[in-house]
Amino acid sequence: MSQNTPLPNLVMLADDDADDRMLFEEALKEIDRETEITTATDGEDLMNILSEQPQINLAIIFLDLNMPKKNGFECLKEIRQKDKFKHIPVVVYSTSCQEESIDKTYEFGASYYICKPNNFNKLKNSIEHIFSIGLHKLVPQPPKKDFVISY
């Protein structure tokens, strides 16, 4: 990653899988130790954090789709309907890489879609790819052909 590309100060990860959360946090630490991460264990937890901490200064949200209580589709739709969150990039981070899921999240306003990689280095590359784009360029969405990031 280029030394000239500043990373976000606060990243939110919503994922119900503890192993996936741990791997994501480790990958992020290897990319930049200064970036803070806040995690939510399901969609309801994510939305509670966002509504209960209105001063939270999130730079980006990574969102799993298949979560209990409130799934990622519901969260994405709710986030995009709230004015105070419209400017925050939301990157779907999911094992559900079917065309239907991709189309639906694009329609709901996701910034990008990462198919969860099957190894640590690919995960790091995916996260670095998102940050190399520049957070200011993540909203609005890219053209559909560039929406999915897969390593």
Which residues in the chain come in under a pLDDT of 70?
Answer: 1-8, 54-55
Element (H, E) at 78: helix 72-81
* Domains, the chain, with CATH or none: 10-149 (3.40.50.2300)
pLDDT at 32: 82
How far is the C-alpha of 111 from the C-alpha of 90, rounded, in Å? Answer: 5
The pTM for the full model equals: 0.90
Half-sphere exposure of 63 (CA within 13 A, CB side): 33
The predicted-structure confidence for 16-55, as pLDDT tens digits, reads as follows 999 999 999 999 999 987 888 999 999 999 999 998 876 6
pLDDT at 134: 84
CA dist list (Å): 2 to 8, 32, 76, 119: 14, 11, 30, 22
